[in-house]
Amino acid sequence: MDPNKLGYAHEIILKQYLPDIANLEIRHDDVFVISYPKSGTTWTLHIVCQIFKEDRNNTDKSIFEEIPYLEFPQGHDLAAIDTIPGQYELLDIMSSPRVIKSHLKPHNLPRDMKVKAPKVIYVARNPKDTAVSAYNFCKLLPGFPTLEEWPDFFEHFCKGTGPRGSWFEHVLTYWKQSRNDPNKLFLKFEDMKKDLKGAVSTISEFLERSLSEASLDLIVNNSTFSAMRSNPKTNPDLNPGELNKIPAQFFRKGKVGDWKNYFTVAQNESFDVLYTEKLRGSDLTFEFEPSHL
């Protein structure tokens, strides 16, 4: 793919879509699930879709077919990338409440969001595990600019010039916006891992949908790593559609702490210095160790 067509860094985003996305009409009852890639987006979307189950009539579709990915093309034919319509073009005909996935930074989101104030769920994951997950995903994507070796990927991740742009900039911008805004919920992957039931309750309260104890338990059971990995509607590797042309393993490990299998001692020390410097004064903290609860 021609890197000049990409929006920033090597982000998998097509510049040609950005003006249209900025001008999209938003509805007050839209729900956006936004993240830096590989932070638990699909997990969160699956929970949101189950909470809205009664409102939705597309439940036969996989989550990837049902939920528009705002800045992504309608298909994976990279040879036709100049002419492929964007998934944002599907939004108009969707019934409400629309659930929308995006990895865009705030300045690229539809301007109308400031007026309509839809609900936004932002999910963040500790940057070490995010980097490892992104590294494994990106190196398997055909046709996209890749950084095959972990040391290269690590360097770019630290500088914010890797395939997914700056983690620090993304997460900190949304963190600042989410605080004191009742229409924005900031979730952490590690908290979801530690207390999935608590996370589902938090999301349902935020969406103003009360759940019976039985529905809550059902959603929790359907949203574990093993349940989602074996479900063709949530795991693109099992989906016979367009998406299984991507040979990446989507449900790889789903753990907190896998970074230890990749970071050298020196990389870990230098990353800790960078992390401390970047997050200083933000009140934002992450857990890097698995919970033993």
Catalytic residues: 103
Which x/- pattern over 242-271 shows residues binding ligand PPS (rule: CB under 6 A)?
Answer: ---------xxxx---x-------------
User: Residues 89 to 128: which contact ligand PPS by CB under 6 A?
Assistant: none
- Candidates 17, 32, 43, 259; binder of ligand PPS (CB under 6 A) is 43
Which three-class secondary structure state does DSSP give residue 35? Answer: strand
Closer CB to ligand PPS, 138 or 158, in the complex: 138
Task: Please list the residues that pair with 34 across neighbouring strands.
Answer: 102, 122
Residue 40 binds ligand PPS (CB under 6 A): yes
What binding mask, one character per residue, do residues 128-147 give for ligand PPS by CB under 6 A, x or -?
-x---x--x-----------
Give the interface segment with ligand PPS, choosing from 38-46, 75-83, 104-112, 260-268 (CB under 6 A). 38-46
Residues 6 or more apart from 183 whose CB is under 8 A from it? Answer: 117, 118, 119, 120
State how far the Cα of 119 lies from the Cα of 185, in Å rounded to an integer. Answer: 8
Report the distance separating Cα 226 and Cα 253, nearest Å.
10
Which residue's C-beta sits nearest to ligand PPS?
A: 254
Q: Which of 108, 223, 239, 267 binds ligand PPS (CB under 6 A)?
A: 223
186 near ligand PPS (CB under 6 A): no
Q: Which of 17, 31, 34, 35 binds ligand PPS (CB under 6 A)?
A: 35
Q: Residues, the chain, total? A: 293
Instruction: Please report, for the chain, how many H helices and E strands are present, in that order.
Output: 12, 4
Pick 11 or 129: Cβ nearer ligand PPS = 129
Q: Which of 238, 137, 129 is nearest to 193 (CA)?
A: 129
Q: Does 38 bind ligand PPS (CB under 6 A)?
A: yes
In 22-32, which positions are buried (b, 16+ CB within 10 angstroms) versus exposed (e)?
eebebeeebbb
**Nearest by Cα to 274 from 102, 179, 158, 134:** 158
Applying CB under 6 A, the residues found at the interface with ligand PPS are 35, 37-43, 129, 133, 136, 223-225, 228, 251-254, 258
